[in-house]
A and B are shown apart, each in its own frame.
Chain A
């Protein structure tokens, strides 16, 4: 079974600075998907960024980018120019490949609570 580990329960960053959230995972599969979701106080789970394991290029979405190290099974999220609205719980998630029929559920890490300091 796959596992996802987020070793930083809490992080804080000054507004406009850059912060990196860590995520490691364990899997025997060679093809899979990784995600970062954001959960603000409203509890709505919002997709931040997605990475396909077969792609070597790191995904980016505006101020959000990932550092995907497949061999190390590491998937960190970098938030640049942090804004007050970035304050939330951030979850790293793993999903099996489409070929693994019936097992495509999301496996989540325990989350990192990010605080933005004005």
Chain B
């Protein structure tokens, strides 16, 4: 069974632009979570989606948003990019909402210049 896939793997943007990252969960998994990883803040939870609904949201500004489609694929969007948004964005999928184990994708590395 294929793992979690994320596209693109690498991205370079400039301040003020917006970006959309995509995540396809493991087949049959219906819950998708997003995390931001930076050297300074470590791994921080962004949000979780299940059945196209956001179930949980971390402490990030409104510039960070996401959505989930009927096939469980998820996208996250960051508008008005700031230098501090440079990070590795990790997507994780789990079988159901609240399932105890999350499986991670390879991540998207975003660099904001």
Cross-chain contact A45 with B90 (CB below 8 angstroms) = yes
Could you show 13 A-B contacts with beta carbons less than 8 Å apart?
A42-B106, A45-B90, A46-B104, A50-B100, A102-B55, A103-B56, A104-B97, A104-B98, A105-B33, A105-B48, A105-B56, A106-B35, A108-B43
> Which A residue sits closest to B96, measured CB to CB?
A98
Cross-chain contact B104 with A45 (CB below 8 angstroms) = yes
- Distance of A108 Cα from B88 Cα, bound (Å): 15
Given the interface contacts A50-B100, A50-B101, A91-B43, does A105 sit within 8 Å of B58 by beta carbon?
Answer: yes
Per-residue contact bits, chain A 50-74, to B (CB 8 Å; 1 contact, 0 not): 1010000000000000000000000
Find B102's partner among A52, A106, A110 (CB 8 Å cutoff): A106
Contact surface of A with B, Cβ cutoff 8 Å: 33, 35, 37, 42-47, 50, 52, 91, 95, 98, 101-111
Given the interface contacts A91-B43, A101-B98, does A43 sit within 8 Å of B106 by beta carbon?
Answer: yes
Number of interface residues of B (CB under 8 A): 24
| B42 beta carbon closer than 8 Å to chain A | yes
Find B101's partner among A35, A44, A102, A108 (CB 8 Å cutoff): A35
Contacts of A98 in B (CB 8 A): 98-100
Contacts of B92 in A (CB 8 A): 45, 106
- Distance of A43 Cα from B39 Cα, bound (Å): 13
Task: With both chains docked as a complex, state the minimum distance between the C-beta of A117 and any C-beta of chain B, in angstroms.
Answer: 25
Given the interface contacts A46-B104, A52-B100, does A102 sit within 8 Å of B56 by beta carbon?
Answer: yes
Cross-chain contact A47 with B100 (CB below 8 angstroms) = no
Task: With both chains docked as a complex, state the minimum distance between the C-beta of A48 and any C-beta of chain B, in angstroms.
Answer: 12
